[in-house]
Structure 1
Amino acid sequence: MLYYLFEYLDKILNVSGAGVFQYITFRSALAFLLSLLLSTVFGKRIINFLRNQQVGETVRELGLAGQNEKAGTPTMGGLIIIFATLVPVMLFAKLHNIYIVLLIVTTLWMGTIGFIDDYIKIFKKDKEGLKGIFKVFGQVGLGLIVGTVLYFSPNVTVRTDTGKNDIFRVTTENVISQSPVEEKSTATTIPFFKNNEFDYAELLAWTGEGYEKWAWLIFIPVVIFIITAVSNGANLTDGIDGLAAGTSAISVLALGIFTFLSGNIIFSNYLNIMYIPNSGEMTVFIAAFVGSLIGFLWYNSYPASVFMGDTGSLTIGGIIAVLAIAVRKELLIPLLCGVFLVENFSVVLQVAYFKYTKKRFGEGKRVFLMAPLHHHYQKKGYHESKIVTRFWIVAIMLAILSIVTLKLR
């Protein structure tokens, strides 16, 4: 909202200095600082409120060192992340931007699903929480909304011919070509390949002429799958103090770099990557989101004063998925969110192998001492702070490698 106020002050009243709000970098910096301030200052008040409401974690008997001490620790801390993200976004972002609207919807949608799950666990005393089928319905519903908007909205376009030598007109950091060739497209980026744009519509080329108009039959299911997979991956990663918040902040920061570059035609022209008009505005949201995650870590680092619960983990996964899809980097998710992928895979492998060996030999066997993977290392005797730090290091390496794909192809 402050963006519109300063736009009025600049363009109508010609107030000196008001034009600085036109810069994405300036508004992103303000969003980050305010988000960090809100999550650290008001985070303590939210934690005290949750504690007074007896919103405490119920710990299952997993035989892990230090697990029983976590009983009663306030959960639903994802409310801190949501609050500290949305307030700066409402103040500093362009609220009419289609990508910002989608991200706000994603935050509220996934936050609501997670909140209902936590509410059932805590107040209804049902350790299973919201039934898995309803979670999936919620994730599919969000995928339908995001996929439909990205495919059909006239405000979502791309430009892949950024390598041409056009003359550009510069308006702050939102650079517009004098002769833009923007189009509706389901193109995405394949990492590590030269001329690496791939259009989902090509999968229907065998159907004959006019196949492009049916591309939504491929694109929307892909969006649904990615949102469901990443949100569940973030949910499984939230198992020990600081793991999900820290690894997510690293991944989102890398996505912020992709977003800023893809939304600026000069940088996208130089790097020969897809230019996505108006996507640079997501940098403001990302800055606020990273600030909230770092602020949340102030209280979630070992020993945690609060857990994010599904309110936070499902929201984090949903936001990361939508960001990656919007900036056409969803095929980078297995690399960028490698920690989520491994955590997911460890559970799938553990369950599949146990069922297979039980059916084959009459006795179930396990690949890991416990799944997800972070619990395996806990069982091996590693302290959880060491596990978290090492997972962060791995996440940083994966984020750097993901950024390197801008030139490594």
Structure 2
Amino acid sequence: MFYHFLYPLKSYSIVFNIFRYITFRAIAASVTAFLICLILGPVLIRYLKKLSITNEIKRPHADSIHQFYAHKGDVPTMGGVLIVVSVLLSSFLWGNFNNSFFILCVVSLIGYCIVGFMDDWMKLKAQNSNGLGARVKLSSQVLIGLVLAFYLFLDPTFDKSISVPFLKNTQLLLGWVFLPFTVLVLVGTSNAINLTDGLDGLAVGCFVIAAGMFGLMTYVAGRIDYSTYLGITYIEKAGEMSVFCAALVGAGLGFLWFNSFPATIMMGDTGSLSLGGALATVAILAKKEIILLVVGGVFVWEALSVILQVTSFKLFKKRIFRMAPFHHHLQLIGWPESKVTIRLWIIAFILGLIGMSMLKLR
């Protein structure tokens, strides 16, 4: 809004020229989203408690970890609404809606938020952990992914390739493979963050790091001088996504204020699916899908631990971990919850730096 209404006033005063700069609007978007979270957080927590929307649903076949969550039964869930509302309000104030990439990021966030919200609501209504059901939930995620994939595939101006790390100006053309690949990135990322969301502050802390790194990468990709120097693909519309990423970072930090140990609110699928969808969309539009595997390495490992555990048990009747996702394994071998969270944050930060360095190592 500010960009569209105030920037045109630059002809009257040079002060309004500041709204042209992505860096200024990104910082403002981050601070705005953070403050919105801080202001609305206590209100939402009281409201959710009043409605008895709490985190007291037990998961089947997980008796070994119920001891760690007995004290969290009255903690409100569906807190992802706070993150999404903060991002949307901040994006509305500071974003450039003439940029199609920015709009796609917002639409993806809303789409996956709706799926997560419905899943959380069904869990609360039925008082079990089934939610929408695996098929409906996955089908909904795939449907959103297909809509985005076909939109980009039919756009003649969008490059249907992925950038190859370590090689200057090298892209791998995907052709029709672009469609299932895009869906895989979206569904995989949203579910990976969902699986990581099992400890206070774990998922949102790792997400803030990843979103911050992608904010920097999209800004660089959208600058022809920086992208030329680094030998990466210049993407004209990518820069505006750094404003969106900054809003994600601010909202994530604001939510972490309440979600850090001991949490007073949980994000639920409303938050985890929407954040995953948003991050994946940014990576797809910025041609950084491979780097996403590194920057989001904690999410990848959490999801992989579940896949390995299920596969091993079905084929060999043996478990690789005491429990999956991996953060529960660490709990069961004696690590306190806060230590698991902080150490995985550290790993996420290191992986983020490695991902950033991949821009230069070519």
TM-score w.r.t. structure 2 length?
A: 0.96
| Structure 1: gaps spanning 5 or more residues | 158-183, 201-214, 358-363
Deviation at residue 127 of structure 1 after TM alignment: 2.2
Q: Read off the aligned partner of 1:39 and give its amino acid letter.
A: C
Q: 2:19, 2:25 within 8 Å by CA — same for their partners in 1?
A: yes
How far apart, CA to CA, are the structure 1 residues paired with 2:238 and 2:141?
Answer: 23
Q: What corresponds to 2:29 in structure 1?
A: 31
In structure 2, the residue matched to 1:62 is: 63
What residue number does 1:367 align with?
320
Counterpart in the other structure of 1:342:
301
Q: Give the Å deviation of 1:344.
A: 0.8
Q: Distance in 2 between matches of 1:199 and 1:352?
A: 32
Question: Which position in structure 2 is the counterpart of 1:130?
Answer: 132
Q: Is the 8 A contact 1:223 1:325 kept in 2?
A: yes
Q: Give CA-to-partner distance per residue, 1:154-188, whole Å, 9 cap, x none.
A: 5xx4xxxxxxxxxxxxxxxxxxxxxxxxxx42222
What is the distance in 1 between the residues matched to 2:357 and 2:181?
25
- Larger Rg computed on CA atoms: 1
State the match for 2:166 in structure 1: 192
Quote the residue 1:402 is aligned against.
355
Letter of the 1:185 partner, please give it.
D
- The one-letter code of the counterpart of 1:23 is Y
What is the rounded CA distance, in whole Å, between the counterparts of 1:62 and 1:89 in structure 2? 42
- Measured against aligned partners, the alpha-carbon deviations of 1:315-338 in whole angstroms (never above 9, x if no partner) come to 111111111000000012221111
Alignment-mate amino acid for residue 317 of structure 1: G
Question: Is the aligned partner of 1:289 residue 2:248?
Answer: yes
Higher helix residue share: 2
Counterpart residue number, 2:17:
19
Percent identity of equivalent pairs: 38
Once the two structures are TM-superposed, the CA of residue 191 in structure 1 deviates from its matched residue by 1.5
What aligned pairs does 1:196-211 form with structure 2 within 5 A after superposition? Answer: 196-200=170-174
1:71 paired residue number: 73
* Cα distance in 1 between the residues matched to 2:168 and 2:103: 33
Task: Give distance in 1, aligned partners of 2:129 and 2:74.
Answer: 14
Aligned counterparts, 1:289-368, within 5 A = 289-357=248-316, 364-368=317-321
Contact 1:190-1:197 at 8 Å conserved across structures: yes
Distance 1:59 1:125, change over 3 A: closer
Q: Give how far 1:195 is off.
A: 4.7
What residue number does 1:101 align with? 103
Tell me, in whole angstroms, the C-alpha distance in 2 between the residues paired with 1:350 and 1:392. 23
For the 8 Å contact 2:161–2:178, the answer to whether it is kept is no
Q: For structure 2, which runs of at least 5 residues remain unmatched after alignment?
A: none
Tell me how far 1:308 sits from its aligned partner.
0.2
1:44-98 superposed Cα distances (whole Å, 9 cap, x missing partner): 1111111111100124253334310011210000011001101010011111211
* Cα drift, residue 282 of structure 1: 0.7
Amino acid at match of 1:127: S
Task: Say if 1:85 and 1:288, in contact at 8 Å, map to a contact too.
Answer: yes
RMSD: 1.3
Count of residues paired in the alignment = 358
Q: Which runs of 4+ in 1 moved over 6 A?
A: none
Is the deviation greater in 14-23 or in 284-293? 14-23
Pairwise CA distance, 1:124: 2.8
For residue 194 of structure 1, report the CA deviation from its aligned partner: 4.3
* Structure 1 match to 2:200: 241
TM-score normalised by L of structure 1: 0.85
